Amino acid sequence: MQAVWIALTVLIVGGCIWSLIRRFTSKKTCCGTEKQPRIRAKKLSAPIGSLTVKIGGMRCENCRCSVTAALDALDGVAAKVSLENGTARVSFERPLSDEELAQAVESAGFEVLGIRR
């Protein structure tokens, strides 16, 4: 019986070590996709305002990059997304509706929890 417990312990520890090795050497993120290159900060020439969007569902750097890319794809909009806070600080050069922001975030697969102007 003791041999069975030793064998199980060795298998569990081995599995944990294998998982850690794969996680640290893999090009995949927790979301199962390839890591994205760093996104350059989008600069606006004449921002007229800014707001904060609370975002749900971000878990890794890849998630942060996806949200940043979705918001930066909007004309006249630049975003700085914080994974730690689950927020995006959005600057804009034109009037921007909450619906337009929500659609961009949701199209990237995330949830808008609130918008503070």
Does residue 54 lie in a domain region? Answer: yes
Q: Domain with 102 in it: what CATH number?
A: 3.30.70.100
Does residue 79 lie in a domain region? Answer: yes
Number of domains in the chain: 2
Structural element, H or E, at residue 2: helix 2-25
The pLDDT value recorded for residue 3 is 86
Give 41-51 pLDDT, tens digit per residue.
899 999 999 99
Q: Is the pTM of this model over 0.85?
A: no
Question: Both 60 and 90 in a single domain?
Answer: yes
Range of the domain at 2: 1-30
Provide the H-helix boundaries in 26-97.
61-72
Give 79-107 pLDDT, tens digit per residue.
999 999 999 999 999 999 999 999 999 99
105: Cα within 13 Å, side-chain hemisphere: 27
